[in-house]
Amino acid sequence: MMIKAIVVLLLLLTACTQNINYTHQKESKNTDYFKNINTSEVEIIKLESPAFKDGESIPSKYTCDGDNSIIPLKISGVHKNTISLALVLDDPDAPVGIWDHWILWNIPPETKEINDELKVPHGKNSWGKQKYGGPCPPDKEHTYIFTLYSLNTKLVLPEGSTKNQLEKAMEGHIIEKAILKGRYNRK
């Protein structure tokens, strides 16, 4: 019985050692590969706001406590194969489930700023309106998530479509996405 246990232990140690060596070789090959890539040429889509930093509080100006004006957003690093962009702003902390605040699509890929001057199709938010609806948490601090999608197509979707319809239309067409989070609490 003791001999069987020792044999099993030796087999396991041998297998683990071989696996470690294989993994190490694999990693060193990948490292050599990445040495040949000029990372200054690789861009990753980014979504930022001059009004707040990721994870910070959203100024009340952009909420139901202010003038409910559209939160200004800046886009950079859009993938070269992007045909259009889509944007969703939602609140996963809403007491009734995820609350959709803003839905946009067919944003031109060369767009650098999203503001109230941008003329693109709007989806129907959870208030049933085709426009921006600012943060307005009824109970406590909520997190608001802006998700920007880079798409390899222009979407054929009627104005006033829901977020679910947008997500279905985007299936198989998302190149990459960027997320920006903000917080707000009515005091």
pLDDT tens profile 171-180: 999 999 999 9
* pLDDT, position 187: 75
Phi then psi dihedrals of residue 23, to 5 deg: -60, -45
DSSP symbol at 95: T
**Residues 56 and 124 grouped into a single domain:** yes
8 A C-beta contact, residue 77 and residue 44: yes
**Residues 22 and 67 grouped into a single domain:** no
Give the structural domain span for 122: 43-184
In the numeric block, which tokens belong to residue 122? 């709007």
**Residues 95 and 139 grouped into a single domain:** yes
Count the domains in the chain. 2
* pTM greater than 0.85: no
* pLDDT, position 43: 65
Residue whose pair of structure tokens reads 């608001």 in the numeric block: 144
**Residues 138 and 111 grouped into a single domain:** yes
**Residues 109 and 180 grouped into a single domain:** yes
**Residues 20 and 90 grouped into a single domain:** no
* pLDDT, position 4: 54
48 to 57, 114, 134: CA distances (angstroms): 13, 10, 17
Task: Give the CATH number for residue 167.
Answer: 3.90.280.10
* pLDDT, position 9: 43
**Residues 143 and 51 grouped into a single domain:** yes
* pLDDT, position 117: 82
**Residues 54 and 141 grouped into a single domain:** yes
**Residues 77 and 104 grouped into a single domain:** yes
**Residues 86 and 150 grouped into a single domain:** yes
**Residues 144 and 68 grouped into a single domain:** yes
Residues 161 and 122: their CA atoms lie apart, in Å, by: 8
In the chain, which stretches have pLDDT less than 70? 1-43
